[in-house]
Structure 1
Amino acid sequence: GGKEKKKKIVTNSHLKKKKKKMFLKKIIILRQKNLDAGKMAEQEERQKIPLVPENLLKKRKAYQALKATQGKQALLAKKEQRKELPAKHSLAFVVSLQRIDGVSLLVKKTITRLHLKKIFSGVFVGHPLSLKMLRIVEPYVTWGFPNLKSVRELILKHGQAKVKNKTIPLTDNPVMEDHLGGFGVICLEDLIHEIAFTGKYFQEISRFLRPFQLSMAHHATKNKVGFF
């Protein structure tokens, strides 16, 4: 008779092996997909730019603008290098540096009011309006802000009183008491204290003193506290 076709016999063990192989292949594919997805997510995370809330951004810009403005102001102040009169200083010692020939009438009047007509003469200035006047005569004078020690040394070394157009030494306590006793000043130490701390009767007591005649302008140094 004719040849019979041989049937391929598939055993159970072969089927199991095939299924296992396919299963493992699926697992490998899934793992690879998960790995790729993880890498992509990590890359996206790195590329993310943190979002700054609008109000924080505005605050940051405002702060940067403020710092820039402050920097410019500090630079301008440094360039000007002008003498300031800090509010905390109520007493200044002012010294005339040069003659005032050919100056404006306002400068002349201010110098006269400050009693600084003579070159290298010095006076204590304690009234706020008088301190403001220093701006008018700034090129012709210099000043410093003396402490108690400096005031005492100035008065002891150079201090003289003016009584009826006469010059008297400040060691004369009876004369001092006669003229300043009504202001609570009966001795030299009282006078020094009233000048140094710009007491209630500072104007009256300072007028009792003659302008200090200094031999050199270095007796007053610009913008120094206690300039001795």
Structure 2
Amino acid sequence: MLAEARAIDRAAGRYPDVQVALAPPFTLIGALREAITAMGVGGQDCHAQAKGAHTGDVSGAMLIDAGADFVILGHSERRKDHGESDELVRSKAEAALAAGLTIIVCVGETLDQRDAGDAVAIVSSQIDGSLPVGEVANEAAAAGKIAVAYEPVWAIGTGRVAAVEDVVAMHAAISERLTGIYGDAADKVRILYGGSVNAGNASELLAAPGVSGALVGGASLTSDAFLPIIAAAGTGEA
């Protein structure tokens, strides 16, 4: 993995206007931090408490110590496989911000929810319940330390991608909810799209109104797959 990461890092260095980051398993955060210079490094989750008897969990402070500067929270796999509620995701987000991490909070609907016409309502509810609130959160939002990733569950790892018009509509709905939470600071909250992003669709998705970037899954595992996405973000051409 580190050899691939170094290749991605070299590519990131050629696009200084593109913010590139990788979130490896916890065991590789330190090694990745030492191996790269042009990218951010993040964790895939963190615990809601800064310390305590929580065997097997990783706190925000531990991520910082390992070399991480951001953390992904509320990923659909965490919500599904570990039963994480909006309330728990919010607690983790608050703990991560308190530790000094930037946060990416994931939201998204299932295929059944979309087919039932409930996609916007479900995602809006997740936004309201999962995002941190209060003075600290407002300051973090204004400082660009909060991002939201819209990841339709049915598009993750399936090869299916949401239609661009649906992505635009959902990102607009998310933006509206963020404004209700953070006011003017919502303009600094990036809204990413995640769900089978690849070299073939990155340019169109990244050019869509309201899309501030991509939360890339499987295509981030190899430099050959990830580099065209970085290029699409930097030049508008995949």
The TM-score, its normalising length taken from structure 2, stands at: 0.19
Max Rg structure:
1
Higher relative contact order (CA 8 A, sep 6+): 1
Q: TM-score, normalised by structure 1?
A: 0.20
